[in-house]
Amino acid sequence: MQSSGRRLEATVAGLALAETRLGAAESALPSPTTVSVAAAPVAQGAAAQPDARAATPVTAPVASPATLLGEADTRLDSIAALVAAANQRIAANSSAIESVAVRLGSVESGLGETRKRTEAAEQALAAANARIDGGDKGLAETATRLAQLQVAIADESDRLSRHEADAAAGSSAFKRTLEGLGTSLEDANQRVAAVDRSLVDTGERVDQLRAAVREQGSRLDQNESNLAQAGVQVGQAGAAIKDHEERLLANERADNASSATAREALERAISAGRLAEGKLVYETVLSNELTNFDSEQAKLSDGSKQVLTEFANKLRAENKNVFIEIQGHTDDTGPATRNQRLARERAEAVRAFLHDSGGIPLHRMAVVSYGESRPVADNGTREGRMKNRRVVLVVLQ
């Protein structure tokens, strides 16, 4: 088209020149009869001396008007022939330009459709890339393939642009170029279709991955719930273990204290010569729950009497030559002297019941008061004070 335009401009310039020359010919018709002729050379065969020539006006015979008009008509005919030839060339160029414009329009339409589909494919690829970001390794490979396809589509777009530039040249190879463009467009359409199918496959895989992620999330929620329940159970078990350890510790302290007083009872009995074998058989603790002494009182309850009766029956059934030391203990409430006296009175009440109701001889029993000096639990708590208020029966042989 550019070349045709330049040729058209040259034709227009030739027409302008022809019009100029025609005007000059018309203006020459009424011109004066004098003409200028060049002077003849001075001598024939002499050296040429251009500077020595001079234009000398002479009076020549004037041509007839009919002759001048004939020459002008001839020149006008030639100019008209040139103009007609120029018009024919312009018409041919116009037809070629229109044909090229039609072909360019179809090419541009095809290119526009291809660009739209390419842009749609690029947008779909971008959406697929965004969805694939959370996928696994296979999705990453798919993204790479999509990127390669995008590069291929961009290359096809560049090739189409180059074909469009070639089409603008208006050469004889334009038709072959259009055919090549059609083939390229068909290939591009096939590739776009392949990309569409790949996007569908990718979408299905993304949906599968989302379903798997939701399932994993449900499992994680269930595991967190189970862990929370396990944490609660572990906390409860820890509290139970701690309580059990505290009880064991209290029992150990009580056992250690009882064992210490039992050893002391054994040493006293050995020193007094009251034992046959000099060994500890066992010891029985009458806690505050069993004795249930009233405040500041040494009177036995019915529960403590039942326990003491069973104790005496056991000794008689075994028929062993044993010695019993009855030890009284209190908590640290009140003065120490009063607690010492109260512990002795309660131990003596136990000895009197074992003698009167259990039939155990008095010389087989002794009473010791520890008062508040041998606690087995913390006197700062109500439970601890109840454990410290007790009567211990140490059986020796």
72 CB contacts (<8 Å, ≥6 apart)?
25, 26, 28, 29
Burial class (CB in 10 A: 0-12, 13-18, 19+), 164: middle
Tokens describing residue 211 = 């379903």
- For 395, the enclosing helix (H) or strand (E) is strand 390-396
CA separation for the pair 205, 202 (Å, rounded): 5
In the chain, where are the structural domains located? 1-25+69-249, 274-396
Tokens describing residue 141 = 């490979």
- For 315, the enclosing helix (H) or strand (E) is helix 302-318
Structure confidence at residue 327 (pLDDT): 94
Spell out the per-residue pLDDT of the chain, length 397, in tens. Answer: 677 678 778 877 878 887 788 777 767 665 444 433 333 343 344 344 444 444 444 444 555 666 767 777 787 788 788 878 877 887 887 787 777 678 867 867 877 887 888 788 788 878 866 775 665 566 677 668 778 877 877 887 787 777 667 656 655 665 676 677 677 667 767 876 776 777 777 778 778 878 887 887 788 788 778 778 777 877 776 676 666 556 545 545 545 555 688 888 888 888 777 776 678 888 888 877 766 776 677 888 888 889 999 999 998 888 778 999 999 999 999 999 999 999 999 999 999 999 999 999 999 999 999 999 999 999 999 888 888 989 999 999 8
Structure confidence at residue 3 (pLDDT): 77
What DSSP string runs through 312-341?
A: HHHHHHHT---EEEEEEE--SSS-HHHHHH
Structure confidence at residue 107 (pLDDT): 66
CA separation for the pair 70, 80 (Å, rounded): 15
For the full predicted model, state whether its pTM sits above 0.85: no
* Contact in structure between 153 and 198 (CB atoms under 8 Å): no
353 CB contacts (<8 Å, ≥6 apart)?
300, 305, 308
Structure confidence at residue 52 (pLDDT): 42
CATH number given to 274-396: 3.30.1330.60
Structure confidence at residue 177 (pLDDT): 61
- The gap from C-alpha 286 to its chain's centroid, in whole angstroms, comes to 68
Closest CA to 103 of 168, 200, 31: 168
